[in-house]
Amino acid sequence: MILYVDEASNLDPWWQTTALAIVVLGIAYAFTRRRSFQRKDGKQYPPYAPIGLLRTILSMSGPRAPSFMLEMSRLLKCSVFRVRLPIPGTPMVVAVGEPILTKLILTESRMKPASVYKPFESVTKGPSIFTETDETTWKHARKGVAPAFSSQHIRRMNTICAAHTERWIQERLVPSIANNAVLDIATEMVDLTVTVICESAFEYNPSKEEMTMFLSELDLALREFSFKQSANPLRKFFNGVLPSARRAKVASDRLQRFVFKVMDHYRSLKHHETEDTVIGRIMNNDKYKNDEARAADLLTFLVAGHDTTGYSLAWILLHLAQHPHEQKILREKLQATPREEWAQSAGLRSVVQEGMRLSPVAAMGSVRQLAEDIVSPTDPTIVLPKGAIVFLPQILACRNPDVFDSPDEFQPSRWDEPSELQRAAIIPFSLGPRNCVGQRLAVAELHSVIASVCAKYTFTVEDEGTSDYFLTYKPVGALLKATHVPNQ
């Protein structure tokens, strides 16, 4: 159980005091019960993060979660450690940033802890391919949609991405240059990726008003149900009292109505270029019980498809703007390469890989609950017990000083000749049977947008902004200014 402290909450003080007392008593009870949990086979558990319970709870449930993980790892000088988050029903909570152990856990463990993932179902109004715990159900959904991400359809969707990118350049980037204006790069990239996925995956072109509504309502719903109530399960008992919870319910209703509108539009089309779009594969899959179940998966794909890609693009462009020399190297390589070969550019791949390493959007990674004991392959004296909830923060692996020299520096050249361990450390789309089914589309979008923009334009930083973590790790308030650069 994790306590979420909301400074902007409209709860009266006595509600806050009562809720806090209940949570703290529950935490203390669960924590003291666990203190006696010791092994008798001589193996050791990972060390505890050297921080008290309250600070751990506050840090893990707030925007500092990724930096907190890095801080603990560096204090301990190790990348596998326990954190004091006494969640009922589990012997311990562990953070793992060691690449080989991470790979083992993701490939061997399919159990997603309900306490972490189930609150998302209040956003989608039911189980989805992301949260479903029944293996037969999620396998049917995954198998059904997989053909939408074949090589043929990735090319089709990437063509749509290229067209939208060119439109963004002409309608947003070029006018900003003419007016000597700045661009909030995170907002711009998220807007771009929403329009791309709506057309390429859902055969729908949202209006500007619909796009604004979708993004704002999604933020409200996710913050309450997938963050606050996931962090503090007690909040769900106050849904009728908390203004933010009532508003989030309205937001999720509006999101579902939007998805049903997209479904109705699909059914109204007399001709489909292909039935193998994401929406086509879902709408024509008779394994779904009803349209509500279809809507849950469609909303999940829409959320996952725009958020991570959009913020990854923003981080990469920000890092390039912060490093003019690297930006110049990339531009020269692209200008010396025929456009049809940009996707195969080693320089482009290195920049994208390094951007995702330094600022992984899924900074806190996946979470798994172990079905059996797992012994660390890199240190056989360390064991993670059955039932343990394991956080797999990508930011720990991506900035692991035992894997990368100067881990906090943006150095695309490190990918010229990477080691196998370095390759294993970068898993932006997770691993195993529950990895990201749409990862090939995301990679194609990243390469397409970065190449199209950086081949002709250079960016400078007007305001670096800050970083924020709320389900995804994102730049906030980063303002860039662009300049056109003719071919050399």
Q: How far is CA 134 from CA 130, 137, 294, 399, in A?
A: 11, 5, 16, 34
Nearest to 376 by CA among 110, 91, 98: 98
Tell me the backbone φ, ψ of residue 415, rounded to 5 degrees.
Answer: -95, 5
Q: 84: which 2 tokens?
A: 């004091």
Nearest to 84 by CA among 114, 45, 50: 50
Whether residue 454 is annotated as binding a ligand: the answer is no
First to last CA, the chain: 58
Residue 323 near residue 316, CB atoms below 8 Å:
no
The DSSP string of 329-382 is HHHHHHHTS-GGGGGG-HHHHHHHHHHHHHS-TTTTBEEEE-SS-EE-SS-TTB
The count of C-alpha atoms lying within 13 angstroms of the C-alpha of 284, restricted to the half-sphere facing its C-beta, is 14
Q: How far apart are CA 48 and CA 276, in angstroms?
A: 49
With tokens 């988050």, the residue in question is 85
Alpha-carbon dihedral 114, 115, 121, 122, rounded to 10 degrees: 160
Q: How far apart are CA 131 and CA 190, in angstroms?
A: 23
Q: 399: which 2 tokens?
A: 């900035």
Q: Say if strands 93-96 and 183-184 run parallel, antiparallel, or are unpaired.
A: unpaired
Cβ-count burial 296-308 (b if 16+ within 10 Å, e if not): bbbbbbbbbbbbb
Taking each continuous run of H as one helix and of E as one strand, the counts in the chain are: 20, 11
The count of C-alpha atoms lying within 13 angstroms of the C-alpha of 204, restricted to the half-sphere facing its C-beta, is 26
Residue 426 near residue 407, CB atoms below 8 Å:
no
With tokens 């049977």, the residue in question is 433
Q: Which residues are annotated as a binding site for heme?
A: 436
Q: Which residues are annotated as a binding site?
A: 436
